């Protein structure tokens, strides 16, 4: 998708991300919202079907009493009291709604992600608060990853993260860090399935070979797979028409390429190097799924991304992982 605004006789079509259409969100406008305006925005996004009229999260009844002073509702059917964030991933919040909206807007504007440390500085809150808030947003926007399937032309590839072993100072003491006995055991592989012209699905495994069964479950029968020459993908030929490319000879040919998968890995590598500096361990899948969401929405304006993130968060139930995260042992 390309914009043609201000295109003269000798002008070159402008890339979408540089066009005015890609900029439909103003952080200044969000920051200037009053508490009442922020509350109304949350209410309209959460209950779009009823045009902002509250619906009980417990019994789905639309008949409610309104507590004006405390911004609460009471269900006429089950007598349940609830707020605009009750039953959502922001339930039991302490942060003002305006700050939550601003956090989502800042998070949406990060082309390669947004670090928790920078978010804590932007919001003037503790690092712990920003860390959990960012992960709640990630969980909400990627909640349907386990339910999605792909079809058609699908590219498959893997990239390893974490488990870095620093080489010894003197050359004589160095070992081959590629061998399993010289690794830490923390190294994991992100395997991505990317549908051409469609969606991106990443999952984390110990090895590429362990991903074959998941690929078989997530890719529809009759699809065509594209992969490199790694021996791990040999078993895919039993289930799918699989076209391979040898990257030692070429990155792309008329028969096969995995450039779409490589584009995803380029985004997550740049996110690791330039934003987060370290992506590994139990959080690797969350970060990889966030980058897949950003890759799939790269041709959507930042305002639409902001609304999509807010709606996903307000429709997502209370997080079993991140609610009370710092009050128990970390995952």
Mean of per-residue pLDDT scores for the chain:
91
Domain shared by 47 and 134, yes or no: yes
- What's this model's pTM, rounded to 2 decimal places? 0.88
Domain boundary residue, one of 144, 168, 191: 144
Q: What is the pLDDT at residue 14?
A: 67
Distance separating alpha carbons of residues 82 and 84, to the nearest angstrom = 7
Terminal Cα-to-Cα distance of the chain (whole angstroms): 40
Q: Are residues 135 and 163 in the same domain?
A: no
Contact assessment for residue 215 and residue 236, using Cβ atoms and an 8 Å cutoff = yes
Same domain, 172 and 293: yes
Q: How far apart are CA 171 and CA 140, in angstroms?
A: 47
Say yes or no: 197 and 291 in one domain.
Answer: yes
In this predicted structure, the answer to whether residue 134 has a pLDDT above a threshold of 90 is yes
Examine the domain organization and report whether 159 and 85 are in the same domain: no
Task: With beta carbons less than 8 A apart as the criterion, state whether 221 and 178 touch.
Answer: no
Are 94 and 108 in contact by the 8 Å Cβ rule? The answer is no
Domain shared by 296 and 157, yes or no = yes
Q: What's the pLDDT tens digit per position in 295-327? A: 999 999 999 999 999 999 999 999 999 998 988
Domain total in the chain = 2
Q: How much is the pLDDT for 130? A: 97
Assess if residue 11 is contained within a domain.
no
* Mean pLDDT value of segment 87-93: 93
82 in a structural domain: yes
Residues 112 and 222 in one domain: no
- Classify residue 170: in a domain, yes or no: yes
If asked whether residues 237 and 172 sit together in one domain, one would say yes
Q: Is residue 52 part of a domain?
A: yes
Same domain, residue pair 109 and 160: no
Residues 231 and 281 in one domain: yes
302/20 Cα distance (integer angstroms): 11
Q: What is the mean pLDDT of residues 276-281?
A: 88
Q: 273 is in which domain, residue-wise?
A: 153-303
Q: Rounded CA gap, 113 and 157, in Å?
A: 22
Whether 7 shows a pLDDT value over 50: the answer reads no
Are residues 201 and 177 part of one domain? Answer: yes
């Amino acid at each position: 998708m390309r914009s043609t605004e201000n295109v003269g006789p000798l002008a070159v079509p402008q890339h979408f991300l540089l066009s005015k259409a890609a900029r439909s969100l103003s952080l200044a406008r969000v920051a200037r919202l009053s508490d009442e305006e922020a509350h109304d925005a949350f209410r309209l996004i959460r209950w779009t079907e009823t045009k902002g009229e509250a619906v009980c999260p417990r019994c789905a009844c639309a008949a409610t009493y309104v507590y004006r002073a405390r911004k609460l509702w009471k269900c006429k059917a089950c007598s349940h009291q609830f707020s605009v964030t009750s039953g959502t991933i922001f339930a039991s919040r302490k942060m003002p709604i305006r700050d939550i909206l601003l956090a989502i807007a800042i998070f949406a504007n990060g082309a390669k992600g947004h670090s928790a440390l920078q978010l804590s500085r932007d919001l003037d809150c503790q690092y712990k608060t920003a860390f959990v808030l960012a992960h709640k947003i990630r969980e909400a926007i990627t909640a349907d990853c386990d339910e999605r399937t792909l079809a058609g032309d699908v590219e498959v590839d893997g990239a390893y993260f974490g488990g870095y072993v620093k080489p010894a100072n003197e050359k004589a003491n160095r070992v081959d860090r590629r061998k399993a006995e010289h690794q830490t055991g923390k190294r994991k592989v992100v395997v991505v399935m990317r549908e051409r012209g469609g969606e991106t699905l990443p999952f984390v495994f110990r090895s590429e070979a362990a991903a074959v069964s998941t690929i078989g479950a997530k890719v529809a029968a009759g699809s065509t797979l594209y992969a490199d020459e790694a021996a791990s993908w040999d078993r895919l030929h039993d289930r799918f028409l699989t076209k391979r490319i040898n990257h030692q000879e070429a990155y792309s040919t008329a028969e096969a390429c995995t450039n779409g998968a490589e584009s995803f890995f380029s985004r997550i590598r740049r996110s690791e190097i330039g934003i987060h500096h370290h992506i590994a361990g139990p959080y690797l899948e969350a970060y990889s799924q966030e980058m897949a969401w950003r890759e799939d929405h790269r041709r959507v304006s930042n305002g639409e991304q902001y609304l999509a993130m807010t709606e996903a968060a307000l429709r997502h139930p209370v997080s079993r992982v991140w609610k009370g995260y710092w009050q128990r042992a970390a995952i």
